[in-house]
Amino acid sequence: MFGNFQPHAAEYLRFLPEIVLCVFGIAVMMLEAVTNEKQKLSLGVISLIGIVAAFAANLWSHTDLGAAFQNMLVVDNYGIFFRGLVLVVGLLCVLASFSYLQREGAQTGEYYALILFSLVGQCILATASDLIMVFIGLEISSIATYILAGFLRDDPRNNESALKYFLLGSFATAFLLYGIAWVYGLAGSTNLDEIRRVLEQPQRMSIVAGLAAGLIFVGLAFKVSVAPFQMWAPDVYQGAAAPISAFMSAGPKAAAFAVFFRLFMTSFRPIDARWIPLVWGCALLSMIVGNFAALVQTNVKRLLGYSSIAHAGYILVALTAASSIGVSAAMFYLASYALMNIGAFVVISYIAARHERHVRIEDLAGLGYREPVTAALLAIFVFSLIGVPLTGGFFAKFYVFQAALDSHLIWLTVLGLINSAIAAYYYLKIIVAIYMREPGEAVAELPAPAASLRAAIWASAFGTLILGIFPSSLLSFVSISASSFR
Amino acid sequence: MPHLPPVPLSWYLVLSAILFVLGVAGFLYRKSIITVFMSIELMLNAVNLSFVSFSYQLRRIDGHIYSFFVMVVAAAEAAVGLAIILTVFKNRGTLQIDEVDSMKR
């Protein structure tokens, strides 16, 4: 037992992206102490290099798939996809943060180090194949994000955002852990495949197993902001700094969904008759709550918070399908959702001005005349969020509902389509403000966007359009990745 | 000294469930942020009790180790959480959860 505890060199290489991120994160923390005010920006550049290096290591780990550290982690195509996705999210958010922190006078090393540490947790989540690693990864990601949510500590809204995120996040963790404890007691193991093997035997206390799965479901549903566990999301996204809202609504969410699908499609697959009705209900409720509450919002960040609840609902539709087509549809959805949502939040962070004074819909008025390029890119993100053809959002919704139809979920598909039609109303309010209103005070004093900000917006828009015009480029990879879930 | 029969597993599990429910109730109904935070800690300790009793029942050591993981993470969470609560108190001068609501609409 103890003789083979020494991990093989190949296992470290599979774990290389996390190691690279940790090393860069610690390096940034150390350098923070010896840099002066003017050199802080270079810490951001260093963390950017770290994320790119981790991304390269992630691509390279594709050549040698397999388990690591006594089956605690498993590096498969699915894990590599989600690791790549959260790293792209981190990259875009760091790029968007340069000018934001400059404007707020809060350019510091900890900020970038915390993003790197949070990414470590999300990478672990993407490859976790043991419930304890799920817990550890979730906490590494969450604790760093709690601090990021309240990073501008003199801003009362930032405090409130961090407080709500922290309290509800740890509440959710407790549920997840209680579920893990029961699964451990029931299966005698926390390994995902082992749990599946135990649950496959008929009559193995399936009511208790269902309860344990339900507790884990509640814990993860909080993290991905699915109704009825969504109440924190609008407040937190509204209160946090805009680049961090972008990060929270894409990175931790994608990683939590990665675990969600891996867990329910492997470990809890044998008891799917128990959880599918639950997921069905939560998917529908999220779409309805998110879309109807978003209709009356005037604050764009809050509106995007509610829309993220609705999008989580669409992704749960794919889980309800409980098929490998559903998993690949959800992977595609998360990729295009991450790009379009980050793009939208980054444009908002640009318009918001110092201390985020301008974040209402009317503050966007006339953006199309003053900054035509930025406005056009924002329009691309909004159209993608609606699901207009030629954008990633269209194919994302298309594949999700196709997967639902394949699994004979006709009612859920119909209700989901009605919901996405309702959603068009509040998204179009943004388009109307951009192009059909006279420029207001907010837009009139807008400086030209910084180069790093432009890079983040262009990259997100480029990705959104690529997914919309050549969806097969990603779809073939996600179908291979999802084929291991049957 | 009379020989006592061992305490059965179910007693520990029931105690753990009661503690967990008390934690949930405290989280939902208490108004002070510090009490709410303590309720979360109570929930985590209820989980630890389950882990340890399952581990004892299964004659496996890993449940004990998991409970240490939980403690370490809870400590890290407490450090961050208390810092967040402190900044809230500094900026608003209150620890009543109902008064921290500047973001409706």
Cα torsion B81, B82, B87, B91 to 10°: value is: 110
**A and B: number of Cβ contacts within 8 A:** 108
* Beta-carbon separation of A177 and B44 below 8 A: yes
Residue B79, domain member (yes or no): yes
Residues B18 and B70: beta-carbon distance below 8 Å:
no
> pLDDT digit of tens for each residue in chain B (105 aa)?
677 778 888 899 999 999 999 999 999 999 999 999 999 999 999 999 999 999 999 998 989 999 999 999 999 999 999 999 999 999 888 888 888 888 765
| Domain tally, chain B | 1
Mean pLDDT of the region A359-368: 88
Share of chain A above pLDDT 90, in %: 71
Q: Does B26 touch chain A (CB under 8 A)?
A: no
Question: Which residue in A147, A174, A302 is closest to B43 by CB distance?
Answer: A174
* Beta-carbon separation of A156 and B102 below 8 A: yes
Q: Calculate ∠ Cα A209-A213-A219, nearest 5°.
A: 150
Compute the residue count for chain B: 105
pLDDT at A484: 78
In angstroms, the CA A277 to CA A282 distance is 9
Q: How far is A472 from chain B (nearest CA, A)?
A: 41
- pLDDT tens across A82-136, in order? 999 999 999 999 999 999 998 888 888 899 999 999 999 999 999 999 999 999 9
* Beta-carbon separation of B103 and A235 below 8 A: yes
| Predicted confidence band of residue A4 (pLDDT cuts 50, 70, 90) | low
**If you search the block for the tokens 């040698």, which residue do you land on?**
A64
Residue B2, domain member (yes or no): no
pLDDT at A71: 87
> Looking at residue B67, which CATH number applies to its domain?
1.10.287.3510
Q: Calculate ∠ Cα B77-A251-A224, nearest 5°.
A: 70
| Predicted confidence band of residue A441 (pLDDT cuts 50, 70, 90) | confident
* Beta-carbon separation of B73 and A135 below 8 A: yes
* Beta-carbon separation of A185 and B57 below 8 A: yes
In angstroms, the CA B97 to CA B33 distance is 6
Question: Which residue in A159, A180, A299 is closest to B88 by CB distance?
Answer: A159
- pLDDT tens across A424-439, in order? 999 999 999 999 888 8
Q: Does B46 touch chain A (CB under 8 A)?
A: yes
Question: Which residue in B40, B63, B69 is closest to A170 by CB distance?
Answer: B40
Looking at beta carbons, which residues of chain A come within 8 Å of B73? 135-136, 139
Of the candidate ranges A140-144, A196-200, A224-228, B100-104, the one whose mean pLDDT is the lowest: B100-104
Q: How far is B37 from chain A (nearest CA, A)?
A: 7
The distance of Cα A465 from the centroid of its chain, to the nearest Å, equals: 19
Domain ranges of chain A: 12-482
State which residue of chain B sits closest to A172, comparing Cα positions. B40
| Model ipTM value | 0.94
* Beta-carbon separation of B77 and A153 below 8 A: no
Q: Which two tokens stand for residue A428?
A: 């179009």
Which residues of A touch chain B, with CB atoms under 8 Å apart? 132, 135-136, 139, 143, 146-147, 150, 153-154, 156-157, 159-164, 166-167, 170-171, 173-174, 177-178, 180-182, 184-185, 188, 190, 234-235, 238-239, 297-299, 302
DSSP 3-state percent helix, strand, coil across chain B (nearest 5): 75, 0, 20
Q: Does B73 touch chain A (CB under 8 A)?
A: yes
pLDDT at A175: 96
| Predicted confidence band of residue A79 (pLDDT cuts 50, 70, 90) | very high
In angstroms, the CA A203 to CA A186 distance is 12
Residue A49 has pLDDT above 90, yes or no: yes
Segments forming the whole domain that contains residue B21: 10-99
Give kind and range of the element (H or E) at residue A123: helix A109-127
* Beta-carbon separation of A238 and B103 below 8 A: yes
* Beta-carbon separation of B81 and A156 below 8 A: no
From the CA atom positions of chain B, what is the Rg in Å?
18
Residue B104, domain member (yes or no): no
* Beta-carbon separation of B40 and A182 below 8 A: no
Question: Which residue in B44, B54, B105 is closest to A174 by CB distance?
Answer: B44
Strand runs (DSSP E) across A393-437, as ranges?
A: none
pLDDT at A416: 93
Mean pLDDT of the region A50-76: 91
Q: How far is A170 from chain B (nearest CA, A)?
A: 7
A255: helix, strand or coil: helix
Q: How far is A320 from chain B (nearest CA, A)?
A: 28
> Nearest 5°: phi and psi at A79?
-65, -40
Q: Which residues of A3-27 are buried (b: 16+ CB within 10 A; e: fewer)?
A: eeeeeeeebebbbbbbebbbebbeb
pLDDT at A48: 95
pLDDT at A105: 87
Give kind and range of the element (H or E) at residue A66: strand A66-68
**Greater pLDDT, A446 or A265:** A265
Residue A1 has pLDDT above 50, yes or no: no
* Beta-carbon separation of A178 and B85 below 8 A: no
pLDDT at A2: 46
